[in-house]
Amino acid sequence: MLIDITLKITPKMVTDAQGNEKKALVGHLATHFDVMNKEFPLEYTKRRAIVFDVSDVGDRDIDIDDIVISKVEQNMFVAFYTGFIEKEGYGGKEYFTGHPQLSDKLIDALLDKGVSIIGVDCAGVRRGKEHTPKDQYCADQGVFIIENLCNLQKVIESGGTCLINTYPMNYADMTGLPCRVVAEV
């Protein structure tokens, strides 16, 4: 079974996002990754994946103790279902400024495991001034952050592990690349 975990955009979502986030243009709109100064390797297009349900984490960062880190393997696509995109909806001010975030300790643990991609169903792994530096930190270690995923709960309901296919647009000199992301369960 194939599950599209790419956010489908509408004209209203484009207007809302551009009114609340200055970077929500072609490269940073909806499901995308911040390419930073790197190029997405073609071997990353198909990865073994795991989706962790962290939707019960409240008013704190999502931390290493909230997942089973031993399930994470090298070269995986690791995604986090927070439920935020369904609860808040994409494009509003709160979506970009109040989303859940991963702790630095968790991000470092994922990097130590040698993952390829970290995916989230919100606007980033960190908020505000920490967003771009953390994306660069991960990219410098060969790891891309995919933002604004959806339908992750369907993957969890199917067992939480799958293959994920990621196909970014072949743009040059962009800071963000929109992509289509499909889970194969």
Does residue 29 surpass a pLDDT of 60?
Answer: yes
Identify the weakest region by mean pLDDT among 22-31, 54-63, 146-155.
22-31
In a domain, 111, yes or no: yes
pLDDT digits (tens, 9 = 90+) for 75-90: 999 999 999 999 999 8
In a domain, 162, yes or no: yes
pLDDT digits (tens, 9 = 90+) for 40-58: 999 999 999 999 999 999 8
Domain count across the chain: 1
The total of other beta-carbon atoms located within 10 Å of residue 94's CB is 14
Task: Tell me the whole-structure pTM to 2 decimals.
Answer: 0.93
The total of other beta-carbon atoms located within 10 Å of residue 152's CB is 26
Give the CA-trace dihedral at 39, 43, 46, 48, to 10 degrees: -110
Identify the weakest region by mean pLDDT among 25-29, 52-56, 97-101, 119-123.
25-29
In a domain, 185, yes or no: no
Kind and range of the H or E run holding 13: helix 11-20
Q: Is 101 exposed, middle or buried (0-12, 13-18, 19+ CB in 10 A)?
A: buried
What are the structure tokens assigned to 146, written together? 């995919």
In a domain, 76, yes or no: yes
The total of other beta-carbon atoms located within 10 Å of residue 175's CB is 16
d(CA 1, CA 41): 25
**CATH number, domain with residue 131:** 3.50.30.50
Range of the domain at 51: 2-180
Q: Rounded to 5 degrees, what are φ and ψ at 14?
A: -60, -50
pLDDT score for 101: 98
pLDDT digits (tens, 9 = 90+) for 106-153: 999 999 999 999 999 999 999 999 999 999 999 999 999 999 999 999
In a domain, 83, yes or no: yes
